[in-house]
Amino acid sequence: MMKKTLILGVISAVVFSCGNGLPEIAPTLKSEKLPHDSDDPAIWINHKNPEQSIVFGTDKDEIDGGVYALFLDVKIIK
């Protein structure tokens, strides 16, 4: 019982200590506009030429969703 109370207390302290005091972080780059809300990013790293690495993201839609690939300058690879 004591262990559960301690764990619950620690979790509560962590959740409530965050509050609204977190700083806002602005993006340094934004991708081209995609048709829908893209998420689930993955990054393929080209170890021989890191500038040619690719970011993948899923664009979830029942009709015309898919996987998008973007260069590191966030331009869509066509």
Structure-block tokens of residue 16: 């409530």
Residue at 46 is within a domain: yes
Residue at 39 is within a domain: yes
Burial class, 71, CB count within 10 angstroms (exposed 0-12 / middle 13-18 / buried 19+): middle
> Whole-angstrom Cα distance, residue 19 to residue 9?
16
Residue at 1 is within a domain: no
Residue at 8 is within a domain: no
Torsion of CA 47, 50, 52, 58, to 10 degrees: 90
Residue at 10 is within a domain: no
Residue at 3 is within a domain: no
Convert the pLDDT of each residue in 39-77 to its tens digit.
888 999 999 999 999 999 888 888 888 888 999 888 888
Residue at 61 is within a domain: yes
Average pLDDT over residues 17-45: 81
